[in-house]
Amino acid sequence: MLDTPHPTPLAPSTDPFALAKALSGKHFIGGRYVPALSGKTFPVVNPATGEQVAAAAEGDAADVDAAVKNAAEAQKAWAKLPARKRGALVYQAAALIREHVEELSRLVALETGKALRTESRVEANNVADIFEFFGGLGGEIKGETVPFGPDVLNITVREPLGVVGAIIPWNIPMMLMALKAAPALVAGNSIVVKSAEEAPLAVLRIVELMNRVLPPGVFNILSGQGAECGAPLVEHKLVRKVTFTGSVETGKIIARTAADKLIPATLELGGKSPMIVFADCDFEKTVAGALTSMRFTRQGQSCTAASRIFVQRPIFDKFVAEMATRVDAMVMGDPLDEKTDIGTIISPGQYEKVKAFIAEGAATAGATGRACSAMPSDSALKKGLFIQPYIFTGLSKDSRLVREEIFGPVTVVFPFDDADSVLAEANDTEFGLAATVWTNDLKIALRFAHQLEAGLVQVNQNLVVQPNLSYGGVKNSGLGKEASLESMLEHFTHKKTIMVNMA
């Protein structure tokens, strides 16, 4: 528990700007806020205005070494606690997070540009749910009795791995941190998180809140750049497990490093998720589902975004027109305004990348791009990273917009006639994270659910990641699962066999 003065308020804050300043320049190691050993910081910018709202501590290998060694020492006592006691403490910390949901919602909206009402508040509540869920699973860390012989007692037990290194992205930073930290902690590991450069604040506050309940050193967080802070974390000799969400290229580098150390790695590396719409679907429900599936309220910055939509030809034109009409009705504006449906892109680099994809699609012969919604008129937002959502039709299957993950508010819609051909097209991608099918034909639904190459297939819905539902992809979408009891047991413990000869 926290036993030293700290710069942030104990009670939930209603002012994200003041809280961002209070969090500036700090890691959280060993139960307390500490600056980077080098004293360096880097700016945290509000993407809705372009203004700097904080300065994050710029960690390097020395900070990583301090955090990991602290975590390794704390893990010894943490692992000795009964698993149900660990779970109870995590559950208690979740209650504290729930008290701070509104504060965390506003803070993450400020730093990421995600709309408060449609995105950030949902994420903050999900974080509390995740820690509550895993907090209740301590009693499930158990082994087996294995028959061997009448004079030999043969059992298995589950033991923690040690220090877990977690590297998280910026799109849903709080939730993805929770999906890694909650099972790791309940399983008896300590953890060092490396936050995303663009979104270090809300996750830092969560670690502080949880340290009011957890023993110091069990849950630590650093901020910094990938090469200077993330890489040393993966490479550190005391880190016995790595869990990462991010790009395929970085994931492959992490996998190689983990392989050299012979340690396990869980990798969630993105997607190019298909949505398949049959003419017999519930039309109104499906159009609404398309908006949710594309995560337009998050500016399409989602690994599971339905960026390839296949619609059976009899309803194709009607579907595209209705989808565009509904996106047009969404309000783009200040992420902290309750009226806002759609916020901003996260960073100038991502903004330019998405704009380049849109320009390429618009310049393609035979393609039509529909720009939806309206840019905000508030002069205070003129430097904000706002992009109108785009719905493209008429692109070829080999277009970059169809093949590559854009991570922006851009989807491509195709007509189809034949079920077999659309199934082949849906699977024609290097990714395999998620897919959705919309039909009232149970036979078609089950066939596609089994034959789509994806780790998560949903029929007539597209929920975000939920605790207790196994989540993870195939192909270039990654390795391993998250969000479930399975993920805690298989990815954050190892199984030990114990044999006792009683003859």
Q: Dihedral sign for Cα 298, 301, 303, 304, please.
A: positive
pTM beyond 0.95: the answer is yes
Find the radius of gyration of the CA atoms of the chain. 23
Please say whether the beta carbons of 108 and 126 come within 8 A: no
**Residue type at 290 in one-letter notation:** A
* Residue range 145-185, pLDDT digits in tens: 999 999 999 999 999 999 999 999 999 999 999 999 999 99
Do 205 and 72 fall within a single domain? yes
Q: Is residue 2 part of a domain?
A: no
Q: What's the 3-state SS for 397-463?
A: CCCHHHHCCCCCCEEEEEEECCHHHHHHHHHCCCCCCEEEEECCCHHHHHHHHHHCCCCEEEECCCC
What pLDDT is attached to residue 7?
84
Q: Is residue 472 part of a domain?
A: no
Q: Identify which of 385, 381, 383, 375 has the alpha carbon closest to the alpha carbon of residue 353.
A: 385
Expressed as residue numbers, the domain containing 154 is 16-269+477-497
* Residue range 275-324, pLDDT digits in tens: 999 999 999 999 999 999 999 999 999 999 999 999 999 999 999 999 99
Q: Is 355 helix (H, G, I), strand (E, B) or coil?
A: helix
Do 210 and 311 fall within a single domain? no
Residue 51, CB half-sphere, CA atoms under 13 Å: how many? 10
Do 294 and 374 fall within a single domain? yes
**Catalytic residue flag (residue 425):** no
3-state helix, strand, coil in the chain (%, to 5): 40, 20, 35
Whichever domain contains 405, its CATH number is 3.40.309.10
H helices, E strands: number in the chain? 16, 19
What pLDDT is attached to residue 83?
98
Rounded to an integer, what distance in angstroms lies between the CA atom of residue 343 and that of residue 114?
Answer: 5
28 φ/ψ angles, rounded to the nearest 5 degrees: -130, 105
Rounded to an integer, what distance in angstroms lies between the CA atom of residue 59 and that of residue 223?
Answer: 6
If you average pLDDT over residues 474-496, what whole number do you get? Answer: 97
* Residue range 43-72, pLDDT digits in tens: 999 999 999 999 999 999 999 999 999 999
Query: Helices (DSSP H) in 173-310: which residue ranges?
Result: 173-186, 201-211, 231-235, 248-261, 283-293
From start to end of 51-110, where are the E strands? 51-57
Do 448 and 482 fall within a single domain? no
If you average pLDDT over residues 237-259, what whole number do you get? Answer: 98
Pair type for strands 308-312 and 274-277:
parallel
pLDDT-based confidence at 4, cuts 50/70/90? low
Q: Is residue 199 part of a domain?
A: yes
Do 330 and 390 fall within a single domain? yes
Q: Identify which of 437, 104, 480 has the alpha carbon closest to the alpha carbon of residue 282.
A: 437
Q: Is residue 347 part of a domain?
A: yes
Do 397 and 418 fall within a single domain? yes
Residue 282, Cβ neighbours under 10 Å: how many?
Answer: 13
Q: Is residue 6 part of a domain?
A: no
Average pLDDT value over all residues in the chain: 97
What pLDDT is attached to residue 5?
58
Whichever domain contains 99, its CATH number is 3.40.605.10
Residues 6+ apart with CB under 8 A from 352: none
- Answer yes or no: is pLDDT of 486 > 70: yes
Q: Dihedral sign for Cα 194, 196, 200, 204, please.
A: negative
Planar angle of CA 1, 160, 239, nearest 5 degrees: 80
Strand partners, 408: none
Do 244 and 282 fall within a single domain? no
Q: Among 3-12, 26-35, 81-90, 363-372, which stretch is predicted with the lowest mean pLDDT?
A: 3-12
Q: Is residue 502 part of a domain?
A: no
Q: Identify which of 196, 194, 191 has the alpha carbon closest to the alpha carbon of residue 169.
A: 196
- Answer yes or no: is pLDDT of 389 > 60: yes
What pLDDT is attached to residue 390?
98
Do 301 and 247 fall within a single domain? no
Please say whether the beta carbons of 22 and 9 come within 8 A: yes
Do 95 and 223 fall within a single domain? yes
**268, 405, 453, 482: the active-site residue:** 268
Q: Is residue 466 part of a domain?
A: no
What pLDDT is attached to residue 162?
98
* Residue range 407-417, pLDDT digits in tens: 999 999 999 99
From start to end of 322-375, where are the E strands? 368-371
Please say whether the beta carbons of 232 and 61 come within 8 A: yes
**H/E element, 221:** strand 219-222
Structure tokens at 83: 């698993």
* Residue range 458-472, pLDDT digits in tens: 999 999 899 999 999
Q: How many domains does the chain have?
A: 2
Do 238 and 337 fall within a single domain? no
Do 446 and 487 fall within a single domain? no
Do 402 and 420 fall within a single domain? yes
Q: Identify which of 240, 390, 241, 178 has the alpha carbon closest to the alpha carbon of residue 305.
A: 390
Quick one: what percent of the chain has pLDDT higher than 70?
Answer: 99
Structure tokens at 351: 């903004």
Q: Is residue 468 part of a domain?
A: no
Residue 232, CB half-sphere, CA atoms under 13 Å: how many? 17
**Residue type at 41 in one-letter notation:** T
* Residue range 199-219, pLDDT digits in tens: 999 999 999 999 999 999 999
If you average pLDDT over residues 384-391, what whole number do you get? Answer: 98
Rounded to an integer, what distance in angstroms lies between the CA atom of residue 425 and that of residue 394?
Answer: 15
269 φ/ψ angles, rounded to the nearest 5 degrees: -120, 20
Q: Is 382 helix (H, G, I), strand (E, B) or coil?
A: coil
Please say whether the beta carbons of 487 and 455 come within 8 A: no
Tokens 């840019």 locate to 375
